[in-house]
Chains A and B, each alone.
Chain A
Amino acid sequence: MTEPIPADQERSNILETRKLSVAAGKRKILSDVHLQIKARQIFGLIGPSGAGKSTVLRCLNRLTDLDHGLRVRGEVLLHGRSIRHREVNVDELRMKIGTLFQQPVVFPTSILKNALFGVRRHKIVPRHAWPATAERALREVALWEEVKDRLRDPARKLSVGQQQRLCLARTLAVNPEIILMDEPTSALDPKSTLAIEGLIGKLKTSRTIVLVTHQLSQARRLCDEVAFVTAQPDGIGKIACSGTTQAILDRTDHPLLNDFLQTEAEADATCCSDDDCP
């Protein structure tokens, strides 16, 4: 399990970005991103599509390193220390800062092997404890009861919602401090969305979560704080404003934010005319 965070650290920022900017070749994608994310909170990144929310998220555990065309400048600090320093072990960093993607990505193998995918390679748990680790992770995402009798079945046979929970279990099994979630419910049906949202809410007690979402209702339900990422007229993504969820979502004096809130509120209203919509 994740060790308790000392009280003084809990109040301070666990993750912080300073003057973060990203460019693809000569084209700037993001500029001047300042974020302060406190421990054990759900921090939301909201904003229109293409504004650079996912790119910000990928910078937080250096997944951007996988895109050879991207150039990242500025600082990302974990517990006050730069994650972009040459001496930082990027693999250990990504163990500490796990990721849950938009689409569930399960490997073409069994449910059990998927749940233990990271644990087996990292050798952080002795072999005899693997079954217990898998059970703990699957219980944490409320999937254990549904799969305990078919752990050796292909993970592909699970529903999309179950696959996404399995992906979360796989991430949790590695015991990260922070989980980056990139629109984790966008591919799910309303019932599965509610299940994942319930889990995210529970995870907050032991972990810090950074959540990219375009659903205002979801941000309102889950996030303690949000940052509004939007593309400026020059096409470069920036943090237009940030603060507590209520303060940002109720704000009326920011034209770009207001446009976005209005568009998304209409989209939410259309969606919620469906009875089972979260």
Chain B
Amino acid sequence: MRRKFDHLFTLASGLCAVFSVGILLFIVAAITWRGMGAVSWKFLTEQIRLVGADGGIFYNIVGTLILMATAFLVSVPAATGLALVHSVYLKSERARDRLWLLLSVMNGVPSILFGIFGLIVFVKLFGWGKSWLAGGILLGLMILPTVAVALIEKIKSLPRAYLETAAGLGLSQPQIVWSVILPQSIGGLMTGSLIGLARAAGETAPIMFTATIFSGANIPHGIRDSPVLSLPYHIFVLAQDSLDPAAGEKLWGSALVLLALIFSLSLLALPARLRIHEEARHD
């Protein structure tokens, strides 16, 4: 009976895994199949023309990269600070639980609310208008819990012996943070950042009110009224005109580029992550 249950459980788990991977592969295959025709050197290097029906998505790629880089620069220091407060500086278990709850709640806030917050604070209150910086900060705030939680988990998994050894050598707490905790947790920070950025790259709601327009922008030269073009918003607008065959093709092409962008990001970080895993294996 027990063996039968084990087999059944293994089968169910296997089916779940196949189903999940199958859906992912189907989405990737569908986007690749339909987008392949649109992607060309011209598509990648030219700017948008004829309301998206012609031309390329060069400035959309640039804009997306600017937003993601800003989100990365905003989220990494903030998440590092939060993770250190949680794991090192907060002594009370209760305070830690509260911070954890706050991060969980923040993680569950719908992205449209971030957009509205950005509209009220950055666009109106600060008077920035639509600005790449507002969008980058919002995306950074949105992925903050993901990055912080990944880092907290990594710090939690650090061998206590490292901390005791460093303390035993007379290192102060800041020295232990800089020489042991952060270098040993960088893997968690990178993993969290990648997951977060992958999510941020596809978000439309937080940036549509605050940072991005459909056409007429290129490289921003300031902060005030300096919107950028972006891939998710481009896809969003084209999707509304998807019955037009020319727009439809560009839509799938843009989606494929966005997918490739996220995939490239993961590949870029792969050597560093592998090195970190290798070091961890020798721990």
Give A residues with C-beta under 8 Å from B.
61, 63, 66, 68, 91-96, 98-99, 101, 103, 105, 107-108, 117-118, 121-122, 154, 156, 167, 170-171, 174
Instruction: Report the separation of the CA atoms of residues A122 and B170 in the bound assembly, to the nearest whole angstrom.
Output: 8
Q: Are A101 and B168 in touch, CB under 8 angstroms? A: yes
Which residues does chain A contribute within 8 Å of B283, judged by CB atoms?
A: 108, 156
Would A63 and B167 be within 8 Å (CB), given that A107-B180, A108-B283, A121-B175 are in contact?
Answer: yes
User: In whole Å, how far is B7's beta carbon from the nearest beta carbon of chain A?
Assistant: 41
* Chain B residue total in the interface (Cβ 8 A): 22
User: In whole Å, how far is B89's beta carbon from the nearest beta carbon of chain A?
Assistant: 12
Partner of A118, one of B162, B170, B280: B170
B50 interface contact, C-beta 8 A = no
Secondary structure at the B interface, as helix, strand, loop or mixed, is: helix
Partner of B168, one of A94, A103, A108, A121: A94
Q: Are A105 and B169 in touch, CB under 8 angstroms? A: no
What 0/1 readout, one digit per residue, does chain B (149-167) give for beta carbons within 8 Å of chain A? 0000000000101111111
B264 interface contact, C-beta 8 A = no
Instruction: Report the separation of the CA atoms of residues A107 and B163 in the bound assembly, to the nearest whole angstrom.
Output: 10
Q: Are B169 and A98 in touch, CB under 8 angstroms? A: yes
Q: Are B175 and A108 in touch, CB under 8 angstroms? A: no
Q: Are B184 and A99 in touch, CB under 8 angstroms? A: no
Give B residues with C-beta under 8 Å from A.
91, 159, 161-172, 175, 179-180, 184, 279-280, 282-283
Most chain B Cβ neighbours within 10 Å, of A93, A98, A118: A118
Which residues does chain B contribute within 8 Å of A66, judged by CB atoms?
A: 163-164, 167
7 closest A-B pairs by beta carbon, nearest first, are A95-B170, A99-B168, A118-B169, A94-B170, A156-B282, A108-B279, A105-B165
Would A95 and B169 be within 8 Å (CB), given that A108-B283, A154-B282 are in contact?
Answer: yes
